[in-house]
Amino acid sequence: MKRNLNIVFMGTPEFAVPSLEKLIETNYNIVGVVTAPDKPAGRGLKMQYSPVKESALKHNIPVLQPEKLKDEVFLQQLKDLNTNLIIVVAFRMLPEMIWSFPEYGTFNLHGSLLPQYRGAAPINWAVINGEKESGLTTFFLKKKIDTGDLILQEKEPISEDDTAGTLYERLMNKGAGLVLKTVQQIETESFTLTPQDNSQELKPAPKIFRDNCKIDFSKTTVEIYNFVRGLSPYPAAWTDKLGKTCKVFTSAIPVSIPENNGEEILTDQKTFLYLKTADSYISIVELQPAGKKKMPVDAFLRGYKL
């Protein structure tokens, strides 16, 4: 016999929207959506809704935006909705009083093949580390972050040309299907739980800050190439090696290097810009000087004499 689900969906950014939309399309009972409070944005500081709130309002679903998740008023609101399943996609860490109360539990969609890449930035770190494969995991929440029992996983190959942005797009859309399958299995009590294997060497995925995004030219060309694409398009790798701070969105591994005496910068001032690395050079393809728009390297070289 199928369970009668009253689902509360928790999420904020665009990554969560396809999962919410997929559940609505398949007529699941979404009794409420929880998302981040509105915040001022733009020159006029107009209050901006999160992508998840925009989606919920479009479908006339009640929206909750608590400032504090441990607020007992918020917990009572969830109970008043007769919530018996919570789904979390790209949201804040939940206190135990929230994730533990629904009858059928609280599950999360995570952008890696757990237990690898636990943390806030799994997509970025998989690309930065040059992985050939990533994926998605749904799991029930436990006290320690990203450690709960696995429900479903789906693999996704990473190509040498992928950026964090292209992998993000694919996982965002695939994630909607995995969330739906997970809900269907919870609804029919047909899921099997698998404890996470902590015996393997685990790679973390901590939150990325601006200081972590500076390019370290003591690393190899391949390491820097992976670093740039793992931070593209956001938050973007950067360097101050060109006389001013520049974000670097696209780089390449040069096929051949002009004759040189080990100079830090190689350029013809027209078409190419190579920066010295630990073992060779990295080609800068697309960049953004501070205060300017993103531009291809030839446009940069026309305006900035090195």
Q: How far apart are CA 125 and CA 226, in angstroms?
A: 10
Q: Which of 5, 9, 8, 28 has its CA nearest to residue 17?
A: 9
Classify the C-alpha dihedral 219-225-230-235 as positive or negative: positive
- What is the DSSP secondary-structure string of 11-72? E-SGGGHHHHHHHHHTT--EEEEE-PPPEEETTTTEEE--HHHHHHHHTT--EE--S-TT-H
The predicted pLDDT at position 74 comes to 96
Residue reference for tokens 């009972």:
29
Q: How far apart are CA 104 and CA 19, in angstroms?
A: 19
The predicted pLDDT at position 306 comes to 78
Q: What pTM, to 2 d.p., does this model score? A: 0.95
Q: Which of 255, 235, 112, 225 has its CA nearest to residue 174?
A: 112
The predicted pLDDT at position 41 comes to 76
Q: How far apart are CA 187 and CA 107, in angstroms?
A: 13
- Each residue of 87-115: pLDDT tens digit? 999 999 999 999 999 999 999 999 999 99
Domains of the chain: 7-187 (3.40.50.170), 210-303 (3.10.25.10)
Q: What is the mean pLDDT of each run of 10 residues along the chain (306 residues)?
A: 95 98 98 95 82 97 96 95 98 96 98 98 98 98 96 98 98 98 98 96 96 97 98 98 95 93 93 96 97 96 87
